[in-house]
Amino acid sequence: MTDSSIVEEIRISSRLMVRELGFMNHTLAATDYSPSVVHTLLEMEARGSLTAAQLVQILGLEKSSVSRMLAKLIKAGELEESASPEDARIKQLSLSPQGRETVRRINAYGNERVISALQKMDASQQRVVSQGLSVYASALKACRDDVDLPEKSAVTIVSGYHPGMIGRITEMHGSYYAREHHFGSFFEAKVAAGLADFSGRLDNANNQIWLAMQNGRIVGSVAIDGEDLGNNEAHLRWFILDDGCRGGGVGRKLIAEAMKFCDEREFSAVQLWTFNKLTAARRLYESFGFVLSKEWQGDQWGSTITEQQFTRK
């Protein structure tokens, strides 16, 4: 049972954040736009282009409200509309040059507010805030998904090849890392190529993949490659979760299956490669005994970042 004092503290803090960030006002982020419009423009920047239906799901607003808002943004010159290459009946929306300039100003304002607040904390407090907000936001989204899809079944973990696996895991990686960390086609192609090669080696007893399944759809994955490193070491690869599954324990179930497999086969060590921005994943890895063994500046995923190697003996 959740501690009632924690619930009250979070509710008080949430109300204070709503006020201090300006959500009580008619406009937001030093613009003439409402909070819903500001969020729409930011999502357009993050995802490149979206349909009206996709925005309805992302924002959690009524279809009619989103339609009216988008019509106004097109008329104001903030958005551009084009036919989808897959289906001409579907309209794709993206930022116009004017819209990109508006988003630049919104981001500058938002960054200034965040930096000002962070400067009132020490480094450890900053990390706690960053990690805590990320986990709490994911949990809130998962709750909305539960309300929106009451028929949604429980997540089950299965092992082995599943039709569509390579494409779906690649899609989850490509979408998440483009949105959150600005990785591009180089990274997505590398994921697809690696998965295709690994899938051809799944018959080897030291290789296995686990999939989180919900309503017949893959919503998470992790794999153990027992061949590519040699020296009787295992390689943990392609750990990813669908947005709606984060914070619900699915990732822990996947890693637990993978570690059980490694222990049964008595690998001398399990290695994984990641980078320093994935704090939630790092905490999960560490809870299973992984320790940071190496850190360096690298570009194996197409961008120069602080890469990390974790080892579990």
* Residue 146 confidence (pLDDT): 58
Distances (CA, A) of 26 to 15, 37, 59, 111, 218: 17, 11, 18, 21, 40
Average pLDDT over residues 134-148: 73
* Residue 9 confidence (pLDDT): 86
Amino acid at 66: V
Burial class (CB in 10 A: 0-12, 13-18, 19+), 181: middle
Enter the pTM of the model: 0.54
Share of the chain above pLDDT 70, in %: 93
Other residues' Cβ atoms within 10 Å of the Cβ of residue 292: 14
The residue with greater pLDDT, 66 or 196, is 196
Residue 149 pLDDT exceeds 60: no
Instruction: Write down the mean pLDDT value for the chain.
Output: 87
* Residue 261 confidence (pLDDT): 97
* Residue 142 confidence (pLDDT): 76
Q: Supply the Cα-derived Rg of the chain in whole angstroms.
A: 22
pLDDT-derived band of residue 86, with 50, 70 and 90 as boundaries? low
* Residue 268 confidence (pLDDT): 96
Average pLDDT over residues 235-253: 88
* Residue 62 confidence (pLDDT): 81
Of the candidates 81, 101, 79, 77, the residue with the CA atom closest to the CA atom of residue 89:
81
> Minimum mean pLDDT among 147-151, 189-193, 309-313: which range?
147-151
Of the candidates 231, 234, 250, the residue with the CA atom closest to the CA atom of residue 242:
250
